[in-house]
Amino acid sequence: MNAGRHLANLALIGFMGTGKTSVGRLVADQLRFEFLDTDDLIETRSGKAINDIFSQNGESAFRQLECDLVEELSSVRQTVISTGGGLPVSPANLDSLKQHALVVCLWSSPEKIFERVRDQSHRPLLQSPDPLARIRSLLATREPFYKRADVLINSEFRSIREVAQQVILQFRLATGQK
Ligand code: S3P
């Protein structure tokens, strides 16, 4: 699975609300890695909230910022990279991450995701009259892309700490560490 790859980093992919950022921070802490969140970096660099990028420049402009950032990430080392939920929909993004990172996907059901995100307003794609239906349809469309991850972990029934432990275990197995 890892032939020709140098797994210097760990990337977390998955739908909004599956715990990528919280788990990623904990994993980075425990591995003594840096932590980087693609959404945060895009917001900092553009000086705009993601909602504003979507409303002022459009989703395609945001996707381009993601692609540009993913290219840059090939030079980071010992970093946990938490990605925006739509980033792996571009196959080139996932291919690029796989060159240098073990890619772990966090997975939850639409109902659980809805429960986690229902009171939040910073995700433009969920500002819909029926967010649960939107989650179901987006998740169904994205499932084949998420399933290209090296490892799939169900985060629905586990605490953040338990998911982080699973992620670390998988990283240690993949990199041959005890
Ligand atoms: C998006 C997910 C968000 C953010 C943007 C678009 C998506 O990131 O990148 O709102 O397309 O699923 P999180 O998954 O961190 O919420």
Residue bearing tokens 């275990």: 169
- Find how far residue 164's CA is from the centre of its chain: 14
The 151-154 sheet, strands edge to edge: 34-37, 79-82, 9-14, 101-107, 151-154
User: What per-residue confidence (pLDDT) applies to 178?
Assistant: 63
User: What per-residue confidence (pLDDT) applies to 3?
Assistant: 64
Tens digit of pLDDT at every position of the chain (178 positions) = 566 689 999 999 999 999 999 999 999 999 999 999 999 999 999 999 999 999 999 999 999 999 999 999 999 999 999 999 999 999 999 999 999 999 999 999 999 999 999 988 889 998 999 999 999 999 999 999 999 999 999 999 999 999 999 999 999 999 998 6
Report the C-alpha gap between 12 and 81 in whole angstroms: 6
Residues 6+ apart with CB under 8 A from 30: 164, 168
Q: Which residues pair with 79 in a beta bridge?
A: 34
Phi, psi of 157 (to 5 degrees): -105, 10
The ligand 1 atom at the shortest distance from the C-alpha of residue 59 is: 6
Pocket test for ligand 1, best of 37, 39, 40, 118 (most atoms within 8 A of CB): 39
User: What per-residue confidence (pLDDT) applies to 5?
Assistant: 84
